[in-house]
Structure 1
Amino acid sequence: MIKPLTESRRTRYTRQAMQDALIDLMRERPLAAITVKALCERADVNRSTFYAHYGSVEELLRDIEDQTMDWVRAALDQLLQQSDATDIEQGIVHICRYIASNRNHLQILMSSKADARFQQQLLELIYSQRAVLDQLQAYAADTAEATMRMRFAVSGSIGLLQYWLATGLEASPESVAHTIFTMAMPPHGAVGTRSS
């Protein structure tokens, strides 16, 4: 089981080394082919150290995923508190900068090499945010249209982020954030302009 957050700098360093080693190994082979022995060799830790922190390689991956999801939840909560368009775009910039800073892990987590369950959880987390639907409701004729707009905006944004990660983050975080913002958010003045 994962230990509480009251851990030493050395413990955090050891966990980070094991997380980095797992991500490196996942670039080379499927998760099912990664052994604790190979992971320990890559992380330069012994097996007893590994088992002091994790019960299995899969548990280590879940820890990486959980940490990422915790960050996404907090960033999403902060983003959804914004009402001004400039603040919303800056919130998306903040998320894109996080992705750029954590590219090694996220390139794997958001790719076909990782557990598709994580990507599905990410989508479901965003879809479950009632505030996203409420914001889009003002630009839609009804709840069904608002739901379709939300699904399109979220899936498109995730697809763009996956493409950005897969192509080595060639564009700047600010450029990607601006594209997401302009493609996902209805333009000003769109309220009530829908023809019937």
Structure 2
Amino acid sequence: MNRSESKYFNTAIRMDEALIKLMETQEFSYISVKAICETAGVNRSTFYLHYENMADLLEETMQYILDSFLEYFESSPRATIEKIGNASTDELLFVTEEYLIPYLQFVQKNKRIYRAAFENKVYEANLKYRNLYLHIIEPIMERFDIPREERSFLSAFYIYGITGMVKEWIETGCKESVEEVAHLIIKIVMKKEESTRDEH
């Protein structure tokens, strides 16, 4: 990355962080380009050099905060895959508390941004859950000998199902605890996994 690219990247991060800071006290719909620029210390033309509108900034900010969170899982994907490879099929779960609890805590902490992302349709679940697919779902489907042509459909069931439950949790104000939501997701997933085991 050359100096001009680094400057461009750092300016974008400042605007991502400005949105995160402003959303601690305000809803997304009330935040203006002017407020972003003042908080980030940039001028209006710089904003439009990076984004067409606020929805573009929101989408980038979602990716920015999620990337920082995913570093938690990326630190030891090999260990996770080895664990899946060595476990008996009776012990395998597509979704575990090891992944769910930190993820739901993260969502709760950033619920204003998640709510705005859902409302503005900038949340692409298939992209946001790519690590869950790569490190958990795909290796487990491999262990169950699920045909490759069926895997994208099965992963969509889990990914969009979990996303829908998280969306409902956010829209109702995160009234349930992180642990309650995690247990509910696992309960529903377990029912599906029982049928998967029966079929294979």
TM-score interval, smaller chain? 0.5 to 0.7
Is residue 22–residue 39 contact of structure 1 (8 Å, CA) maintained in 2?
Answer: no
Unaligned runs of 5+ in 2: 1-7, 85-90
CA offsets per residue over residues 126-173 of structure 1, 9 Å max, x none? 586275222024346533344432221111001111111111111111
Shift in Å, 1:49: 8.9
Residue type matched to 2:29 in 1?
Answer: R
Is residue 162–residue 185 contact of structure 2 (8 Å, CA) maintained in 1?
Answer: yes
Q: How many Å separate the matches in 2 of 1:155 and 1:179?
A: 15
Q: How many Å separate the matches in 1 of 2:153 and 2:189?
A: 12
Residue type matched to 2:103 in 1?
Answer: I
CA offsets per residue over residues 38-94 of structure 1, 9 Å max, x none? 5457x5x76549949x74455643441231331354355469616476993232111
Moved more, 170-179 or 55-64: 55-64
1:151 is matched with 156
1:164 is matched with 169
Percent sequence identity over matched residues?
Answer: 15
Relative contact order, CA 8 A, sep 6+: which one is greater? 2
* Residue 90 (str. 1) matches residue 91 (str. 2): no
1:113 is matched with 120
Is residue 26–residue 113 contact of structure 1 (8 Å, CA) maintained in 2?
Answer: no
- CA spacing shift, 1:152–1:119, aligned 2, 3 Å: closer
Is residue 141–residue 151 contact of structure 2 (8 Å, CA) maintained in 1?
Answer: yes
TM-score w.r.t. the length of structure 2 is 0.63
* Residue 19 (str. 1) matches residue 20 (str. 2): yes
TM-score w.r.t. the length of structure 1 is 0.64
Unaligned runs of 5+ in 1: 5-10, 29-33
Shift in Å, 1:190: 6.0
Shift in Å, 1:102: 1.4
1:175 is matched with 180
2:110 is matched with 102
Q: How many Å separate the matches in 2 of 1:22 and 1:169?
A: 17
CA offsets per residue over residues 165-193 of structure 1, 9 Å max, x none? 111111111111122223235557964x3
Residue type matched to 2:127 in 1?
Answer: Q
Residue type matched to 1:158 in 2?
Answer: T
2:10 to 3, 24, 28: 3
- CA spacing shift, 1:179–1:71, aligned 2, 3 Å: farther
Is residue 140–residue 146 contact of structure 1 (8 Å, CA) maintained in 2?
Answer: no
Q: Find the residue that maps to 2:9 and give its secondary structure.
A: coil
